[in-house]
Amino acid sequence: MHIDQPTLFAVTAFAAAISGLMLLFGWLQDRSSATLAWWGGGLLLVVGGTGLVVLRGVIPDEISIVIGNAVQLFGYGMLWTGARTFEGRRPRIAVLLVVSLAWMVACQFDFYWTDMPLRIRVSATLISSYLLLTAAEYARPKNPELVSRWPTIFILLLQAGGVLIRIPLAEKLVFPAPENSFTATLVPLGAAGLVLFSFSLAFLVMAMSKERLVLEHKRTALVDPLTGVANRRAFFERGERILRRGLADGDTAALLMIDIDKFKHVNDTFGHQAGDRVLCAFCDTAARVLRPTDVLGRTGGEEFACLLPGATPAEAAAVADRIRLEFEQCRLDLGAVRPTSTVSIGVATTVDVGGSLAALMGAADRALYRAKANGRNRVESVGALKAGALSGPAADHPAAQPPWGAGMRRDDARAAPGARPHGGDAADPGRRDESAVA
C-alpha cells in the first residue's frame, strides 16, 4: 500500500501539536503547574523541529539540518525541564542552550556536515539522553504516591529505546526517504511512535498534575494550618486505625489530653500572634519528646491530644511529664518580657478504660480537668497512677522518667541500652510538615 509521506507527517504533526496545545491550555487554567507549560512548549518544539528535519530537500539544508535538529533538541530538553520543575528541582536552561548551540557549531565543520550517519547517531544519543533524564526525574519523585508516574516512565523508556535503534541503523537511514527504501518502511512506525509519545505523555503529565493537586488538598484538609500537626479529623481517623491495629496485636496504648494553661490570658495580654507562637512552640516541644510512632493532634483552640501506641501506664505518665517539663523551660521572647507557659496533662490507657478511642479521650479529659483543679502545670493519670500528680519533685521519681531515660531525646533512645519503645508503625504527625498525616 502506498503511503504519501507528506500527508502522513502532516497528520502526525497536527496530532502531536494538539497534545502540546492541550497542555498549554491546562497551564493557562492553573498557572501554578509550570510543568504543563514546559511540556506543552516542548512538544510543540519537537513537532516543529521534526518537521524541518523531514522537509530536507524541500527547504535549504542549513534550515533543515542545522536549525531543525537544534529546535528538536531544545524541545526534548524542555520535556526534561518540565519533569524537573514538577519534582521541585531547579530548571537548567543553560544545559538546553549549550546542547542546541553545540549542534549548530558542529554543523559548521565539514567532517560532521558531510557525514549523515554520524549526525544521526549524535542526534539519537542526545534525544535518548534527554528522555532517560526525564524518566530519571520521575523515578525519584517528590510524591511517591502518584500512580501516573509509572506509565509515564514506561513510555519515556520505550521512546528512548525507539530512538536508540537509529544508532546501529544509521547507515541505512536516508533523508528524504526514497520510495521503497528501508527508510520509507520505517516512516509509518516513526509517525505512529510520535503520536503515541505525544498523546500518551500529554495525558499522563496532566494526570500527574491532577493527582498531586488532589493529594495536596487532602493533606491540607488533614493538617492544622497553624501548627502543622494533625487536625481533629486526622487525629481521629489515624488514631482509630492505629488503636484497632495495636489492640488486635495485643498491645496497650495510652492517650494524653493536653491543655495550655491560662492561654486566654496570653492572648489578652500579648495578642493573638503571641498566642499563635505559644501553640507552635508547644508543638515543636512535643515533637522533640515524642517518638515517630506517636500521633499528635490539635483537637481544639489550645487543646491537644496525643496517642502513644504500645505505651504502658508508667511510660505514658513519664512521657507526659517530660513534655510538661520541656515546655515549662521554653520561654518565648514577646518583646519586653519572656513569659513562661505551662501545660496540664491528663493520661488514660487501654489498661484502665479499654480499647475505645472515645473512652480513652473521655477518661484522659477527666484527668486533665483534675490537673487543672489541682493547680495546673501537672500530670494526672487514671488507674494505677490516679493519685499521683507528676510535677515538680515527683518528676525525679524513677517511675516518672521517660521510657528512654532522663535527659535523652527521642533520637538518643534508639541507641539506649534497654530502652523500651512504646510505639507502633505510624508516621509522626507531631512534626510540623506534610508527613504529619500521611
| 33: pLDDT strictly greater than 80 | yes
Tally of structural domains, the chain: 2
Statement: residue 124 has pLDDT above 70 = yes
Write down the catalytic residue from 302, 326, 380, 434: 302
How far is the C-alpha of 195 from the C-alpha of 262, rounded, in Å?
Answer: 66
CA distance 37 to 20: 9
Average pLDDT over every residue of 412-435? 35
* 372-382 pLDDT tens trace: 898 889 899 88
- Domain of residue 286 covers 232-437
Query: Which residue type is seen at 47?
Result: V
pLDDT of 186 reads 64
Contact 86, 209 (CB under 8 A): yes
Ranges 217-231, 283-297, 339-353, 423-437, most confident: 283-297
Task: Output the CA–CA distances (angstroms, integers) from residue 317 to 111, 257, 368, 395, in the order listed.
Answer: 80, 12, 12, 10
The CA-to-CA distance between both ends of the chain, in Å, stands at 57
Q: Are both 216 and 111 inside the same structural domain?
A: yes
**269 and 209 within one domain:** no
Q: How far apart are CA 300 and CA 313, in angstroms?
A: 25
Same domain, 86 and 196: yes
Q: Is residue 302 among the annotated active site residues?
A: yes
pLDDT at 183: 56
What is the C-alpha to C-alpha distance for residues 330 and 341, in angstroms, rounded to an integer? Answer: 7
63: its cell numbers:
534550515
Are residues 333 and 408 both part of a single domain? yes
CATH number for the domain spanning 181: value is: 1.20.1070
CB-CB neighbours of 120 under 10 Å: 19
Indicate whether 77 belongs to any domain: yes
Determine, yes or no, domain membership for 119.
yes
Whether the per-residue pLDDT at 134 is higher than 50: the answer is: yes
Q: Are residues 314 and 356 in the same domain?
A: yes
Non-local CB neighbours of 90 within 8 Å, separated by 6+ positions: 84
Q: Are residues 297 and 184 in the same domain?
A: no
Residues 147 and 241 in one domain: no
Say if residues 67 and 61 touch (Cβ distance below 8 Å): no
- Residue 278 burial (10 A CB sphere; 0-12, 13-18, 19+): buried
Give the C-alpha separation, 156 to 151, whole Å: 9
The CATH number of residue 277's host domain is 3.30.70.270
pLDDT in tens, 6-20: 666 777 788 888 989
Amino acid identity for residue 65 in this structure: I
Q: What is the chain's mean pLDDT, rounded?
A: 80
User: Are 110 and 181 contained in the same domain?
Assistant: yes
pLDDT digits (tens, 9 = 90+) for 234-259: 888 888 888 888 888 888 899 999 99
pLDDT at residue 160, as a whole number: 93
Looking at the fold, whether 136 and 263 belong to one and the same domain comes out as no
Residue 227 lies inside a defined structural domain of this protein: no
Task: Compute the residue count for the chain.
Answer: 438
Q: Report the largest interatomic distance among the alpha carbons of the chain, rounded to a whole angstrom.
A: 96
**211 and 261 both lie in a single domain:** no
The residue from 222, 244, 274 where one domain ends is: 222
Q: Specify the amino acid at residue 193.
A: G
Same-domain status, 211 and 245: no
Task: Decide if pLDDT at 220 tops 70.
Answer: yes
Instruction: Specify whether 164 is located in the same domain as 277.
Output: no
